[in-house]
Amino acid sequence: MNTIIALHTGTGNSLYLAKRIPDAEIHFIDEFLSGSYSLPEDTERLGIIFPVYCWGLPSPVREFITKVLGNRDNSSLGYVFGLATCGAFPLYTLNDLSSSLSDVGIALSYGNAFRFPDGYLPLQKKAVGKEMTERMAREAEPRIIEAIEDITEERIRLPRRGPGWRLVRKLSMASMKPGKNNDLSVSSGCTGCGTCASICPTGNITMENGRPVSGDSCISCFACYHRCPENAIEYRKAVGQYRGLVETKELKRR
């Protein structure tokens, strides 16, 4: 049976995971939000795949749940799964997902999370290199294979709530609001290729007179920094780029 996947990704880890789901049709969450793609009325299997942001859902995933799922008849949905990628651990992210879905009348059937190389620069000075990337991908593999089997067999796996989860959810929502990112800048090495504008998941970058210009809807995913072919985007004292597990062209949205 066909599965529709609603995907949010910055640096591509979540796309790498989404590509592993058999018989799946993958759509970026921005396609749903812009109206360029609509979930077919008879969809039975829906997967939501995304990175953990501050132990909660990235804002585009929240928007997808409230604005897209919250405004349609979801009675055809029989199996809804959520897979999160993270740099360390998800804490209550899957509870956040389950609760947000429940608010629009959808029951989460299965949730799981996987550790991947992390491109979140505020917590590191040097980007994760090729060797570490390959090692972490190898280490993630057994759990990914297990999860694919779970999802294929439509097994149930629900996140367990721990103490203080509502507070964590509130803090995550407050700290992950889109905004201006004054710490990202473009150096003279920029060739005006437009890659950063085409992969930004929120459309925060526009090209003006051959130069990228940043707006006020940055979610600090760092895709632009890591995927600039000239390494021309600077962030504080960060060095190197996390080149990830998928090709840059696969991250292009526009």
In angstroms, give the least distance from the CB of 50 to ligand FMN: 7
**Separation between Cα atoms, residue 131 and residue 225, nearest integer Å:** 20
Cβ 181 vs Cβ 200: under 8 Å: no
**Separation between Cα atoms, residue 227 and residue 220, nearest integer Å:** 14
Note the residues at the interface with ligand FMN (CB under 6 A).
9-14, 51-55, 85-89, 116, 118-120, 220-222
Around Cβ 87, how many Cβ atoms within 10 Å? Answer: 17
Cα-Cα-Cα-Cα dihedral sign, residues 68, 73, 76, 78: positive
When binding is defined by CB under 6 A, the residue of 125, 191, 239, 247 that contacts ligand SF4 is: 191
**Separation between Cα atoms, residue 11 and residue 242, nearest integer Å:** 8
- Which residues, including other chains, have CB under 8 Å from residue 176's CB and lie 6 or more apart? 53, 54, 56, 58, 59, 219
Residue closer to ligand FMN by CB (options 51, 111) is: 51
Task: Tell whether residue 10 is a contact of ligand SF4 (CB under 6 A).
Answer: yes
From the list ligand FMN, ligand SF4, none, which binds 100 (C-beta under 5 to 8 Å, kind-based)? none
Task: Tell whether residue 223 is a contact of ligand SF4 (CB under 6 A).
Answer: yes
In angstroms, give the least distance from the CB of 245 to ligand SF4: 17
When binding is defined by CB under 6 A, the residue of 157, 192, 248, 253 that contacts ligand SF4 is: 192
Task: Tell whether residue 181 is a contact of ligand SF4 (CB under 6 A).
Answer: yes
Element (H, E) at 178: none
In angstroms, give the least distance from the CB of 22 to ligand SF4: 30
Binding-site ranges for ligand SF4 (CB under 6 A)? 10, 181, 186, 190-196, 200-202, 204-205, 212, 214, 218-224, 228, 230, 232-233
